[in-house]
Structures are given as C-alpha cells and as structure tokens.
Amino acid sequence: MSALRGNSVPRWIRKPRALPPESEGWPRPWVFLRYHAGGRHIYPAMIGAASPDAAPGDLVHVFEKGGKLWGAGLYNPRAPVPVRLTGELGAEASEALLDELIERALSLRLDVWRLQEETEAFRAIHSDGDGLGGLAVDRLGSVLSVEVRSLGVWRRLERWLPRLRARLGTRRERIAVDPVAARLEGIAAPEPARIAPVKFREHGVRYEVDFRSGHKTGFFCDQRENRLRFARLAKGLRVLDLCCYTGGFALAAKVLGGAAEATGVDLDETALAQARRNAHLNQARVRWVHADAFAYARQMARNGTQWDAVVLDPPKFVESRGEAARGRRKYEDLNRLAVALVRKGGWLVSCSCSGLLPEAEFEQLVIRAAHRQGRRLQLVDRTGAGQDHPVFSDCLEGRYLKVLWARVW
C-alpha cells in the first residue's frame, strides 16, 4: 500500500538537532526524546533527534535521556503526532511485536470474552487501547470494517488482513482512511471499495449497515451494552431516542425490552432511512421523525409532550480544544431541552462521545441543565463503551464515551 511523502517538511526536520553522543550503537531506526509527558502520543516538541535513516511509516526504537529504551513507536515526522508508542514499556521495535499486538487484541475478544457467541458485531482492535494507535477494526457480520489514521498502520495493513480474516471469520473488508488523517499523515489511499450492505445481529436485534453512508466504521459498537441496558428498563414505557442515528436504542427498547411505544428523531435523512430498514428487519413499529433535535425538543416541550424514558446520544460536539466552550454549551442546551421531555420519575440516559470533555465535567453540565429546568436528577450510574473498547492507563483520552443514567424528579 503506497504512501505520499509530501513536500512540506517540519522545521525540526529541516534543522535537525545534534545526535545525542550516547546514540552510537543504538539499534536503528531510532527517535530520541528530549522529554516525555508519560502518554502514548509523542509530539514534535518532545523529540530531540531521529536517526538519519528513520523514514515516514517506520517502526522505531524510542530512547530517552541516559540512553534508556522507552519502547517502540510508529514514526511519521510530518504528522501532528510524529510518534505513536506501541506495545508495552521497554518493548524493542520489531514487526513481530506488532504481529503479537494484533493477536493479543483478537484473543482478548475471541478467546477470553468470547464475544462472537453473543453478538455478530464488536470491535476487534481499538487503536491505542490495544497498543495499535491509528487502527480501528470492527467485525460486522461477515465484513471487516477498518478505519486507518496512521501511515505506519496503512503500510502494514495488507500484511495483517489475512490474519484478521482468518481469526474473525469474515469474507469481505471495507477499508477507510480518515480524510483528515490522510492529508496530515501523507497517505495515498484509494476510494473505499464498494461493497454490498451487511446484516448482522446484536443481542437478537437485526441491523444493516450500508457503508456508502455510515459514519466511522459504519456502526457504533461502543454502545452495545448500553443499548441492552436501556432495553431492560423500557418494558411498557414510552421511549424517545433523540439523535437516534440508525435507531439502535429505539429498536433495542422495542424489540428486546417490549417498550409500549418508541420514537426516534434524527436530522440525517440517510441515517433515518437506514433506521426504517432496520425496523423492517425486526418487524418493529417505531415512529421515525426527521427533525433537528433542538427544534424538535423545543416544539414537544411547548406541546407539553413527555416520555417515560429519553435517551440522548448526540454527535461529537467537541471536536477540538478550540471548540470546547461552544461544544459544552450545546451539550448543556440539548440536555436542558431533553430533561423537559421526561415525565416525573422517568429516565434520562445522556451520552457524550467527546473525548476532550472529561467525565466529571459532562456530569456537571447535565446536572446544571436539569437544575435550569427546575428539575432534579437521581443519579443511578455512569457507564461507557463496552469491554471491546479497552483503555491503557497511559492513554486515558481513549475513554471517550460517557453515559449518565438518571431518574428525573
């Protein structure tokens, strides 16, 4: 798989720093750190030097002061994150290490948790959470859905695919390179191959993914356990799935939970069309509404319409640190509107997939939104992504999904 080298070269490469004296005899290629903040992402200011033979996409040895081997990392000097540490501390750089990480990730899902026995859709490799930053792989029925954000991953993917197919029992793959990552990393990726939609089951509910229009890897496997939990409290209730995407929460509530009535609302017409097809697959009656969540919630509040349970799962409102203040306001405003739609003693399940929004801060803004409505929350639990989305202790920003469960009084 080819890659673009690009013409723009960062200043720290154009004017390289002197090689550290102790680098004589270090295994090549290598990168030397001036300092390290302790995480898995090494930024340009942290890099003191790189061996002259270190090329974009290489797996490098990472050394710190005193010549101590910190570990191995995938290297791309032109990327905003020039080194993504991989594996465990002190690991030597080798292709065998990366192969071991692939197998370790697969074994955790297939041999330890045996996810294939309860669902046909799960995350098989979770980027930094499996020590493989820049690679996300979902198994969706017979299809591997792969998202790439790293040049180093892109260069090795063709070699990894046969093992992934064999271990996960898939027949086709859909490979997508994030457009922003392609530009920043210098990846010359072709357009994803057109493949037919795939159908699969999750806890007995049938879903379809059309890769021509799906977000990310096509389906949000991270909410699997939360969909099941929502279904368990939905029996006999009127439920509202606000920002429903392809209808996961609404369908789980109706098909698994026996909800008396389910309504799904989303602004994305294509996603809503898929939600309708999903409902048809399950012979489930759900009311689908094409509307902006903010406008719909305001109108329902004016009408005095309320539900027994409302789940709110909006898109990522905080995409970057520069958008943080605006994103927080949007979360608070939408939660304030959602709270008004919950009957007294009913349920609010509020979600955020913004990794830059800390869990405690998210909880506080949901509480503040309820108080602005003159309501109080009885906080019951906090959950996140399922166990197939692990997080390493030195990369806690991978714990992006936050779900707050509360009764509204």
* 377-383: strand order across its sheet: 287-290, 261-266, 238-242, 307-312, 342-352, 402-408, 377-383
- Four-residue CA torsion sign, 197, 202, 207, 210: negative
pTM of model > 0.85? yes
Could you tell me if 377 and 406 are in contact, meaning their C-beta atoms sit under 8 angstroms apart? yes
**Could you say which DSSP state residue 119 is in?**
B
Q: What's the whole-number mean pLDDT along residues 48-67?
A: 93
pLDDT score recorded for residue 1: 55
* pLDDT above 50 for 211: yes
| Token pair for 275 | 């939600």
Give residue 317's Cα distance to chain centre.
14
pLDDT score recorded for residue 190: 82
Helix-strand-coil percent breakdown of the chain, rounded to 5?
35, 25, 40
Q: Which of 161-165, 176-180, 222-226 has the lowest mean pLDDT?
A: 176-180
Q: What's the whole-number mean pLDDT along residues 164-180?
A: 93
Looking at CATH, the fold of the domain delimited by 198-408 is given as: Rossmann fold (3.40.50)
Question: Which residues lie closer than 8 Å to 374 by C-beta, 6 or more apart?
Answer: none
- Four-residue CA torsion sign, 42, 75, 31, 68: positive
- CATH no. for 96-185: 3.30.750.80
Q: Which residues pair with 119 in a beta bridge?
A: 202
* pLDDT above 90 for 8: no
Q: What is the mean pLDDT of the chain?
A: 92
**C-alpha distances in Å from residue 328, one per residue of 173, 298, 360:** 36, 19, 13
Tell me whether the CATH fold assigned to 96-185 matches the one assigned to 198-408.
no
Phi, psi (5° rounding) for residue 265? Answer: -125, 130
pLDDT tens per residue across span 367-391: 999 999 999 999 999 999 999 999 9
pLDDT score recorded for residue 2: 47
Q: What's the whole-number mean pLDDT along residues 14-27?
A: 73
pLDDT tens per residue across span 270-302: 999 999 999 999 999 999 999 999 999 999 999
* pLDDT above 90 for 195: no
* pLDDT above 70 for 136: yes
Q: Which residues pair with 53 in a beta bridge?
A: none
Q: Is 2.30.130.10 the CATH classification of the domain at 11-93?
A: yes
Q: Which residues pair with 379 in a beta bridge?
A: 406
Residue ranges per structural domain of the chain = 11-93, 96-185, 198-408
For residue 325, which amino acid is it? A
Computed on alpha carbons and rounded to an integer, the radius of gyration of the chain in Å comes to 23
**Helix, strand or coil, per DSSP, at residue 406:** strand
pLDDT score recorded for residue 58: 97
